[in-house]
Chains A and B, each alone.
Chain A
Amino acid sequence: MEKELLFKTNNIGKIYGSNTVLQGINVEFHRGEIVGLIGENGAGKSTLMKIIAGVTDASMGTMEMNGKPFKASSMMDANKYGIGMVFQEQSLISNLSAAQNIYLGREKDFSTFGLVNWAKMNAAARAALDKLGLSNISPAQKISDMPFAMRQMVEITKVLDIVSETANDRALILLDEPTTVLTDDEMKILFEQVRLMKEKGNCIIFISHRLQEVLDLTDRIYVFKDGHLTGEVETKDADEYKLYEMMVGRETNGEYYVSQRQTVPTDDVVLEVENLAMFGSFKDVSFKLHKGEVLGLYGVEGSGKEDVCAVISGDEGKTAGTIRINGKEVSFGSPSDARKHGILSVPRDRRDEGIIGILPISENISVSNYGKNATAGLISNKKQTENANGWIKELGIKCEGPMQRINALSGGNAQKVIFARVLDSECPILILDHPTRGVDIGAKGDIYSLIRDITEKGFSVLLMGDTLDECLGLASRIIVMKDGLVTAEFDCPADNKPDQVEVVQKML
């Protein structure tokens, strides 16, 4: 049965600075269809969704909705065409009721002389909720009093209501990982609603890391990798293993990750973690980090690996378990404590947590170790500048000089400054949290060889790779996490890297 075409893209692409995150995407969505989008973190599926929903612009390509050219400058604009997106992070106002949230910004329809008729609005919200079979939600209930799943339903109702105003049952609804925080029962309800919307002729796009859900719910699946559309498959022809294979794709050769210089871990344990837990995020995490090794930590976003990293770097507090450094038990209250114990991190969010934007490069490098350039407590600015010059030369940072502000640098060069900072601190244990995120290809190569350099010097690295390929390529051992638990551990010697499909199976 051929379904009516609702929406299509022609060669859509997106470039951030010198980074191409999405290229040549041609997808089609039909009425009465549920389409799954899968791929690793950063594969480009979220970027595509944002472009369709009007959150960001496409750098190239065109789109069509209902056979007419489509271009949205904002989310509200996209709503007018009948396109709505439900975000991972909820965008509800917690102190307002369900009805008030659903009609936020559209109160005019219920007003006389500027006063809103709440009864009328609640009745409309009742109808909107009933349409989705959500009779258990009261329109007058405050969002802050609702369980999480119910909030998600309100959010979906809101989006659907806005969209159906203009596109009666010709809506395109984007669900970005709506199930991560839901329990099994709640998920069943959500799936029922989604199928109901489909029956009526709407198209739903479903993004999820849980492949079983995708297989259960969707009719068709698009697979993304590294900003490209790498596959399309009818759900009835697919199983989990096939999807794994499609997601993983071709492997990069060892040369790219300078594997010939990969160190063999010594028996010297520098950091040991036992039964570490953080309430609501992860538990029972144990591992050992040896001197001179790169230990990879991998899992999908939300698997708890971010928080493991945050606890070890002192950014968050643990709720149970022990951390030992060189056999001695330690506990940190802040990253500054962790630094004193020899642990420092290259944070994931460079703009927000990495660079100190309005300060010059030299200050950015010295901030973790002022003492290095000081005598009797007084810092020599001359020494500090010389020190910065040394790092600029050693790491090949392209800049006007050590006094240039760091926010004038490109992503790759700014990241090298952050590397200079952690190396300058002389901390022997480094946490590299997505060290190549938003970095152009040339700088990526530099960072890979830099990681080899420092492990050769005896530094130990805990790595959260940006992609599985990268994580496997760099690490000598990796730990896989899923839903807050460690699910597997793989040895990754330079000449015998584990099969990616095998790893992916453990993490999804």
Chain B
Amino acid sequence: MEQKNKSFKTFFIQNIYILSAVLVIVVFFLINNSFLSLYSIQNMTTELAPLLPMACGIAFVLYAGSIDLSIGAVASAVCVITGLNVGEKGNIMILYMLLFGVMIGLINGLLVSKGKLPSFIVTLCAQSIYRAIAIILSNPHGGGSKNIPLKQRVVVNWATNKVLGLPILFWIAVLILIICIVIERKTAIGKSIFAIGANEKAARMAGVNVTLTKLCAFILCSVGAAIGGIMYTYKLKSSVPTIGDNLYMMAISSVALGGTLFSGGKGSALRTLVGVLTVTAISSGMNMAGVNPLWKNVVYGIVLIAAVAINSEKGGRDLIIK
């Protein structure tokens, strides 16, 4: 009997993420019936599109038991650089920016894996660097950040066109989600990421290349952030150097809500998708319910703490408590 109770409890905790998503959607639907209207859903999918790649990206770093605090700043920098150049250079900028993301991940990853530095401090520094880059590029004359609208919108308009009633950006995000699922379930590198997150020493002794694996996790993460940044440029049709400031909190709350273990080794992209849906629903729902948008950060902060606390493996090898 007791065992049955216990297994029910585990089952409950393991699936609480779905419950929370449903709960959020039902509550906002009751508050405002147009929450689930076609228009509102279209809106939400546009909101969700840039967040999903970022959340899926940082999830890889979390699976590996590390953290990346820089993704918001990376998205900002990418958003500004894309916005400033896409008019002239065209859509090839996307490729350049993906390479930029690879480079950022490579630097972070090398400092963490080869330099053996704590990931939070490396990425905290990276955050300040890329934030500075975003602000300086947007306003080279000094005096703080400045939003710059795109000059040639024609180049980017395709991204917000609709296919099957939903914007292309959303379909791209779905494609990225599928790629992430394949990486984590079907490739050696994906499985190695989970192994080093679950027990780095054991994975190392089993012959997993820890350095390379960590490097890949950080690269996937930064590329995810870069895609997020590009999507914001295409969505907002302007360069916004502060776009990433709140994104970090949204992305990491999404991953936490999906039940990814912050000590590493457990999680999945599909669960992250549910987390992203929940966060987007909270965001849109609060807008529609007329709540002061300033409440959002307070809510995300509380959600993050609650989600991390519920999902942590109390009995298991939950080592980082420092």
Q: Which residues of A contact B (CB under 8 A)?
A: 313, 315, 334-336, 338-340, 344-345, 347, 352-359, 363, 366-368, 370-371, 374, 377-379, 381, 407, 421, 425
Q: In the bound complex, how far is the Cα of B316 from the Cα of A7, in angstroms? A: 39
Chain A residues positioned under 8 Å from B198 (CB to CB): 356-359
Known: A356-B199, A358-B266. A421 touches B206 (CB 8 A): yes
Q: Are B194 and A363 in contact (CB under 8 A)?
A: yes
Q: Are B205 and A335 in contact (CB under 8 A)?
A: yes
Chain A residues positioned under 8 Å from B185 (CB to CB): 379, 381
**Contacts A/B (CB < 8 Å), 26 sampled:** A334-B204, A335-B205, A336-B204, A339-B207, A347-B202, A347-B205, A352-B199, A353-B201, A353-B202, A356-B199, A357-B199, A359-B195, A363-B194, A367-B191, A367-B192, A367-B207, A368-B206, A368-B207, A368-B208, A370-B188, A370-B191, A374-B188, A378-B182, A378-B187, A381-B186, A425-B207
**Min distance, Cβ B86 to any Cβ of chain A, angstroms:** 33
Nearest B residue to A366 via CB reads: B191
Q: Which residues of B contact A (CB under 8 A)?
A: 182, 185-188, 191-192, 194-195, 198-199, 201-211, 261, 265-266, 313, 316-317
Known: A363-B195, A378-B182. A354 touches B188 (CB 8 A): no
Chain B residues positioned under 8 Å from A352 (CB to CB): 199, 201-202
**Min distance, Cβ B200 to any Cβ of chain A, angstroms:** 9
Pick the residue among A334, A338, A358, A379 that contacts B317 (CB under 8 A): A358
Chain B residues positioned under 8 Å from A357 (CB to CB): 198-199, 316-317
Chain A residues positioned under 8 Å from B208 (CB to CB): 336, 367-368
Of the listed residues B186, B201, B202, the one surrounded by the most CB atoms of chain A closer than 10 A to its CB is: B202
Chain A residues positioned under 8 Å from B194 (CB to CB): 359, 363
Q: Are A355 and B202 in contact (CB under 8 A)?
A: yes
Q: In the bound complex, how far is the Cα of B204 from the Cα of A353, in angstroms? A: 8
**Min distance, Cβ A457 to any Cβ of chain B, angstroms:** 20
| Chain B contact residues: helix, strand, loop or mixed | helix
Chain B residues positioned under 8 Å from A378 (CB to CB): 182, 186-187
**Min distance, Cβ A7 to any Cβ of chain B, angstroms:** 37
Q: Are B191 and A363 in contact (CB under 8 A)?
A: yes
Pick the residue among A340, A358, A374 that contacts B313 (CB under 8 A): A358
Chain A residues positioned under 8 Å from B210 (CB to CB): 334, 336
Q: Which 3 A-B pairs have the closest CB atoms?
A: A339-B207, A370-B188, A336-B209
Chain B residues positioned under 8 Å from A358 (CB to CB): 198-199, 261, 265-266, 313, 316-317
**Min distance, Cβ B122 to any Cβ of chain A, angstroms:** 21
Chain A residues positioned under 8 Å from B207 (CB to CB): 335-336, 338-340, 344, 367-368, 425
Known: A334-B210, A378-B186, A379-B187. A315 touches B195 (CB 8 A): no
Apart from A344-B207, A367-B207, list 6 A-B contacts with CB within 8 A: A335-B206, A354-B202, A358-B261, A359-B194, A370-B191, A371-B188
**Min distance, Cβ A495 to any Cβ of chain B, angstroms:** 36
**Min distance, Cβ B13 to any Cβ of chain A, angstroms:** 14
Q: Are B186 and A367 in contact (CB under 8 A)?
A: no
Q: In the bound complex, how far is the Cα of B265 from the Cα of A353, in angstroms? A: 15
Q: Are B192 and A370 in contact (CB under 8 A)?
A: yes
Q: In the bound complex, how far is the Cα of B199 from the Cα of A334, in angstroms? A: 16
Of the listed residues B191, B207, B210, B261, the one surrounded by the most CB atoms of chain A closer than 10 A to its CB is: B207
Chain A residues positioned under 8 Å from B209 (CB to CB): 334, 336
Q: In the bound complex, how far is the Cα of B192 from the Cα of A153, in angstroms? A: 46
Q: In the bound complex, how far is the Cα of B203 from the Cα of A352, in angstroms? A: 10
Of the listed residues B203, B206, B261, B316, the one surrounded by the most CB atoms of chain A closer than 10 A to its CB is: B206
Nearest B residue to A333 via CB reads: B211
Nearest A residue to B194 via CB reads: A359
Chain B residues positioned under 8 Å from A366 (CB to CB): 191
Chain B residues positioned under 8 Å from A370 (CB to CB): 188, 191-192
Chain B residues positioned under 8 Å from A355 (CB to CB): 199, 202
Pick the residue among B182, B188, B205, B313 that contacts A315 (CB under 8 A): B205
Q: In the bound complex, how far is the Cα of B261 from the Cα of A347, in angstroms? A: 26
**Min distance, Cβ B205 to any Cβ of chain A, angstroms:** 5
**Min distance, Cβ A91 to any Cβ of chain B, angstroms:** 19
Q: In the bound complex, how far is the Cα of B204 from the Cα of A352, in angstroms? A: 11
Q: In the bound complex, how far is the Cα of B211 from the Cα of A335, in angstroms? A: 12
Nearest B residue to A343 via CB reads: B207
Pick the residue among B211, B266, B316 that contacts A334 (CB under 8 A): B211
Q: In the bound complex, how far is the Cα of B190 from the Cα of A374, in angstroms? A: 13
Nearest B residue to A344 via CB reads: B207
**Min distance, Cβ A369 to any Cβ of chain B, angstroms:** 8
Pick the residue among B186, B203, B211 that contacts A379 (CB under 8 A): B186
Q: In the bound complex, how far is the Cα of B299 from the Cα of A217, in angstroms? A: 68
